[in-house]
Amino acid sequence: MDLFKVDSIDECEEKIFKCIKKSNFDLKYEEVELYKSLNRINYEDIHSKEEAPNFNKSTVDGYAVISKDTSGASETVPTFLDIVGESLMGKEQTISINSGECVYVPTGAMLPEGSNAVVMIEHTENLSQKKIAIYSAVGEGQNVIKKADDIKKEELILKRGKKITSGDIALLSSAGVSRVKVYKKINIAIISTGDELEEYTKEKVDIGKIRDSNSIMLSAICEENFINVYDVVKVEDDYDKLYEKVKYYLDKVDIIVLSGGSSKGKKDYTESVIKDNSEEGILTHGISIKPGKPTITGYNIKNKTIIIGLPGHPVACALIFRILIFGIIEFITSAKLDNKYCIGRITENLKAAPGRMTIQLVNVKEDLTVTPILSKSGIVKSLSKADGYIIIKLNDEGINKGEYVKVHYLT
């Protein structure tokens, strides 16, 4: 048998990206209501059509004043001002004030023309219906959000490729944006292969068989990352059946993922099936990564479909899936999907796998000590325990206890 001619993970990604470019793969967009846009990826730069607020707004309950009038005001030497009116919430304020005058403004109400600051009510005293004492000076603009301070007209408020957060939704709604163009969800078909696999819901599994946990795990990763699972299907270790299944999905999805069946065993048809559905043959057969070496990729140019054969071990399967799929989505949309990390100190020595990049699942404690989850390859429990993973680069020998490491949080 041939030995693997392995790629680095970067080389593997580059080959896929090249095909994406070459074939003008495009995710396209759909327009959704703003309230349905959470966690979707913004399709184009959004410029505000209006300004916000559209008036000078008080950020406190108090009196709108001309800041100069209050200079020198203190607990012992107050300044006295005439009350000439009151601002009402949500109403345009039409009076204007002159030196020596003030207007009551509740939080969020409009300042009268002429005023440029607000004295908090806590720093004032009503002497009569018409007069107040001010015990604290305010500077120009103090306790005021000026017209257009929050959003200017034509201002770029959301960039293409931004994954939309609740904060973005707050901003967009403030600007009156009620619909957003977002990238369509990438569409994936998951095919699990292997005669040893049983449905995880089956009452009892025979000796020698295992429950298929990879399909439901990959579906969950998709769900939480807003990837559309078009279909999940199990196929026997049979070339013809597998070939037909892959062919069937070619014009229906963006990515076909085969889980299991990518190592060098006699019954591994994944390689030939991917090859025979990719015009340019296998792109990558084997990645210099641990775990995850037996990863195979291909690309169907006619249908613009990426085909990925994932390793069967659950840890490798989950990690390689995340890295490749996130990489593809980020390449197409310019989004940053996996951007929560921390640096912490590792509690144990870690050896790297020679000639491979090593991914190590870890726990992160609240004090940011990082503990590797050491277990044999293929132990599914470690995925449940992990908070994140660290990467030991190719050619690094390992990490010493006490060194700082960068942890990528698993979402």
Interface with its own copies in residues 349-408 (CB under 8 A)? 366, 368, 376-381, 383-387
The terminus-to-terminus CA distance of the chain in angstroms comes to 39
Size of the site for its own copies (CB under 8 A): 104
Return the number of the residue (122 or 244) whose C-beta is nearest its own copies. 122
The DSSP 8-state label assigned to residue 208 in this structure reads T
User: Could you give the CA distance from residue 394 to residue 359 in angstroms, rounded to a whole number?
Assistant: 10
371 strand-pairing partners: 363
Q: Which is closer to its own copies, CB of 22 or CB of 202?
A: 202
Beta carbon nearer to its own copies, 78 or 194: 194
Using the rule CB under 8 A, which residue among 209, 234, 247, 304 binds its own copies? 209
What is the identity of the amino acid at 350?
Answer: L
**Contacting its own copies within 245-264 (CB under 8 A):** 260, 263-264
Q: Which residues ranging from 46 to 65 are in contact with its own copies (CB under 8 A)?
A: 50, 52-55, 57, 59-61
Residue placing its CB nearer to its own copies in the complex, 12 or 52:
52
For residues 82 and 397, what is the distance between their CA atoms, to the nearest angstrom? 77
| Count of CB atoms situated within 10 Å of the CB of 312 | 24
Stretch of 9-17, 200-208, 243-251, 325-333 lying at the interface with its own copies (CB under 8 A): 200-208
Residues 161-190 that bind its own copies (CB under 8 A): 165-171, 173-176, 178
Q: Which two tokens stand for residue 366?
A: 């609240």
Is 207 a binding residue for its own copies by CB under 8 A? The answer is yes
β pairing state of 79-86 and 101-105: parallel
- Residue with tokens 């004090």, as numbered in its chain: 367
Instruction: Closer to its own copies by CB, 13 or 237: give it.
Output: 237
Q: Closer CB to its own copies, residue 157 or residue 346?
A: 157
Q: Are 263 and 310 in contact (CB under 8 A)?
A: no
Quick one: which of 95, 121, 148, 250 contacts its own copies (CB under 8 A)? 121
Which positions from 303 through 342 interact with its own copies, judged by CB under 8 A?
A: 312-314, 318, 339-342
User: What does DSSP assign to residue 375?
Assistant: -
Candidate list 212, 230, 308, 325; residue touching its own copies; CB under 8 A: 212
Rounded CA-CA distance 234/249 in Å is: 14
Nearest CB to its own copies, comparing residues 25 and 63: 63
Nearer to its own copies, 187 or 259 (CB): 259
CB of 266 to its own copies, least distance (A): 6
Rounded to a whole number of angstroms, the minimum distance from the CB of residue 357 to its own copies is 18
Nearer to its own copies, 84 or 216 (CB): 216
Residues of span 215-244 touching its own copies by CB under 8 A: 216-217, 219-221, 223-224, 237
Closest distance of CB 24 from its own copies, Å: 30
Which residues partner with 7 through β-bridges? 287
**What span, in angstroms and rounded, lies between the C-alpha atoms of 350 and 391?**
11
Rounded Cα–Cα distance for residues 17 and 279 (Å): 16
Q: What is the footprint of its own copies within residues 273-302 (CB under 8 A)? A: none
CA distance 190 to 217: 11
Contact 386, 373 (CB under 8 A): yes
Q: Is 136 in the site for its own copies (CB under 8 A)?
A: no
CB of 275 to its own copies, least distance (A): 19
Q: How far is CA 141 from CA 40, 54, 100, 205, in A?
A: 37, 16, 17, 72
Query: What DSSP string describes 229-291?
Result: EEEEEEE-S-HHHHHHHHHHHHTT-SEEEEES--SS-TT--HHHHHHHH-TT-EEEE-BSEES
Among 85, 108, 114, 161, binds its own copies (CB under 8 A): 108
Residue 148 interacting with its own copies (CB under 8 A): no
